A and B are shown apart, each in its own frame.
Chain A
Amino acid sequence: MILGLPPHAAALMGTVISTLIVASISCRALALKRPDRDYTELKLRTLSWWWMIGLFFLVLLLPEPFTLVFIAFLSFMALKEFFSIVPMRLVDRRAIFWAYLAIPVQYFWLGMDWYGMFIIFIPVYVFLFIPMVMIIIGDTRGFIYSAGIIHWGVMLTVFCVSHLAALYLMPTTNTQAGGVGALLFLLVMTQFNDVCQYVVGKTLGSRKIVPKVSPNKTWAGFLGGVSIITLLAAAAGPYLTVLSLWESAVAGLIISIAGFTGDLVISAIKRDLQIKDTGRLIPGHGGILDRMDSLIFTAPLFFHYLHYLYGWAGNA
């Protein structure tokens, strides 16, 4: 154990910090070399990365419940952002209030290691409970629309995001990496996939893949991201997770395709609402949904892939 963390997870965290240091130095060097150009946005983004990664790593160093509370808090911020940008009725405030209460309960199931309840609580109980609250309020004009939006928001930001915590808590036989290892594997692969798709798309791409949703996404970027992440995941997976080399490659494929989709789904929401960012919480990045867009899709899919292959060692 290094600082209370499994050694493989600690090694990855060290790598991430080193990468960030290199990025910061190159950013400085770039700004010095080309004083004529404005790098404020790039600097802001890098600084925000320091804050996000620093905060998250700090939480990982603390005892287990802190990570659970931290991820629950991310769900809260994301759900709040979602409800804030989507037009809804004033009478929905009461149902929305109940939707927020689903957050502590959902993470509580994980805290008590009750996998069966964790996995059905939102798709079954919250799904049926919210419309019940809404009929008590009684306003039927716009009922379907509101019921649909509230549940969709809770699924994206609470159910999907809580899989990050599930991954962290899931018992694993790779004790050198632990649950932290699997969680960090997912986070790094997802974020690096975004970067690869962007960079490859910028340098090689011309044929657009879904021009109506995002004019910046190209076939080259998508395929480049998929191949790089599949290879990288195959290399890193056995070190950080219970997966074998081939299983890790498939995990990389899943993460890459899911990340691409999540990114586009949040883009589609923003296009629909005619806004550029979902919030202004993170300077240079936008809102929390802007930052977590890919993760919302990769977290549950990667988790269930692992779960399908290896199961949850405790309760099922």
Chain B
Amino acid sequence: MLDRLLKVGFVLLILRPLVFIWLGLNTVNRQSLPTRGPAIIAANHNSHLDVMVLLALFPLRDLHRGRPVAAADYFLSNRYIAWFSTHVLNIIPLDRNVDRHNSAELLTQCHKALDEDEILIIFPEGSRGRPEVMGRIKKGVYRLVQERSNCPVYPVVMRGLGRALPRGTARLVPFNVDVVIGEGLSGFEDPEAYLQRMRAAYAALTKLCITSSCVDRERNG
């Protein structure tokens, strides 16, 4: 309960002013964002702030259902960040040096969250990759939903955070951020169908972005 209050307080007092005033969102289709699980939000990954922007969009009373699946090597990197990530953000840690054992552990945790009607926030590209460039989509999400009939996957495309806070800097420069939310997808026949439909959805959503990408991405990639 205390953790839930912490999360609401953090989002209301720090995250929302930061995201809506210092940055600024061009949100499309906000009403599609799921507020009740089981559901998965599958967003592209540009910056560590991706998670923060998505959390800022949640209605406060549904906030506790949002569970970011976030990289352990960053979000658990030291004691303070780890406390913040587990108690305030309530993340499900993802170990990127996957072996069979911790991969099974991650799946268990994700399934448990979905069983409790929570909403997973996942970045199917894995790492942040080059700013504003969609990387290769991985199949982890498919493994999560293949045996669930009632768990839609919501593709979300974000653009602008790669400019506001690119890799390796701490200076957050104000830029508007596009957040384009797609309709929930479900009923994938096989991993290939999943990949195809997600790629098509990302391509369609990207067309609705209005902020510009960096002109020199080939040099800063």
A91 contacts across to B, CB distance below 8 A? 216, 220
* Interface residue ranges of A214-271 to B (CB < 8 Å): none
Q: How far is the CA of A127 from the CA of B200 in the complex (A)?
A: 45
Q: Are B166 and A280 within 8 A (Cβ)?
A: no
Q: Are A273 and B176 within 8 A (Cβ)?
A: no
Q: Contact flags (1/0) for B168-212 with A, using CB distance below 8 Å?
A: 010101111000000000000000000000000000000000111
Q: Are A87 and B175 within 8 A (Cβ)?
A: no
Q: Are B220 and A90 within 8 A (Cβ)?
A: yes
A100 contacts across to B, CB distance below 8 A? 173-174
B175 contacts across to A, CB distance below 8 A? 80, 83-84
Give the interface size bracket for A toward B: 20 to 34
Q: How many residues of B contact A (CB 8 A)?
A: 24
Q: Is B5 an interface residue (CB 8 A)?
A: no
Q: Report the nearest B residue to A80, measured CB to CB.
A: B174
Q: Are A142 and B216 within 8 A (Cβ)?
A: yes
Q: How far is the CA of A84 from the CA of B26 in the complex (A)?
A: 11
A281 contacts across to B, CB distance below 8 A? 24, 26
Q: Is B81 an interface residue (CB 8 A)?
A: no
A93-B163, A96-B173, A97-B171 known; A88-B24 Cβ under 8 A: no
Q: How far is the CA of A89 from the CA of B131 in the complex (A)?
A: 12
Q: Is B13 an interface residue (CB 8 A)?
A: no
Q: How far is the CA of A281 from the CA of B21 in the complex (A)?
A: 11
Q: How far is the CA of A273 from the CA of B175 in the complex (A)?
A: 17
Within 8 Å by CB of B171, from A83, A93, A280, lies A93
- Give min CB distance, A266 to chain B, whole Å: 14
Q: Are A279 and B171 within 8 A (Cβ)?
A: no
B127 contacts across to A, CB distance below 8 A? none
- Give min CB distance, A34 to chain B, whole Å: 26
Q: How far is the CA of A35 from the CA of B25 in the complex (A)?
A: 33
A83 contacts across to B, CB distance below 8 A? 174-175
Q: How far is the CA of A83 from the CA of B220 in the complex (A)?
A: 19
A80-B24, A84-B160 known; A275-B210 Cβ under 8 A: yes
B contact set with A: CB distance below 8 Å? 24-28, 131, 160, 163, 166, 169, 171, 173-176, 210-217, 220
A contact set with B: CB distance below 8 Å? 76-77, 80-81, 83-91, 93-94, 96-97, 100, 141-142, 273, 275-281, 287
